[in-house]
Amino acid sequence: MAYALYNAPNLQSSNPLKWVANDWSIDDSFQMQNGLPYTVGVSGFFNAGVLSDWNGASGASFIPMIGPNTERYPRHIVDDARVQKQFTFHESRPYQLQFIANVFNIANHQNIDGLGTTAYKLSTSGSLNEAVYQGQGTSNPSNNTYQIPTSSNNSGFLYTPREIEISARFVF
């Protein structure tokens, strides 16, 4: 995670341009993290035994040669920024008018937090045991569920689609 705050330097003259050039600030926060691990799963069973899985015996719903937690979700990236312009009016007390623009998830990066994790569907047809791959490239597109996103930007306030918030504040 990184955070940066930049305040533009102010002009110290009586030039009217100072109303446009002075009192700008830019804040940026950037967060990136690796995707969490997940286990490649199977569904269904072979008829070799009651409640059997890929090898004909009841057990885990993952493929032992692949193992648990061997795949990863895509990484998450969020970049938020705030631009602020402040006008100060000097009288007996200083008054400030602030214009603020917040942009959340600037790049509008899709942060995937749910994937289809079932890679093979097990079944028996007659005496033939069959493991049908559920990923892209299968002959039946309705089987394409493995590694297909099921949800994204769905973890509350942190990973959301791009949002823009514009506001004004008067401080007295």
Q: How far apart are CA 80 and CA 74, in angstroms?
A: 20
For residues 9-37, give the mean pLDDT. Answer: 82
Q: Which is higher by pLDDT, 103 or 42?
A: 103
pTM of structure: 0.66
For residues 10-15, give the mean pLDDT. Answer: 74
The encoded tokens of residue 57 equal 């015996």
Q: How far apart are CA 149 and CA 153, in angstroms?
A: 11
Domain boundaries, the chain: 2-171
Q: How far apart are CA 16 and CA 12, in angstroms?
A: 11
Q: pLDDT tens digit string along 83-140?
A: 999 888 876 778 889 999 999 888 888 888 888 888 887 777 777 777 777 777 656 6
Average predicted confidence (pLDDT) for the chain: 79
pLDDT tier at 162, thresholds 50, 70, 90: confident
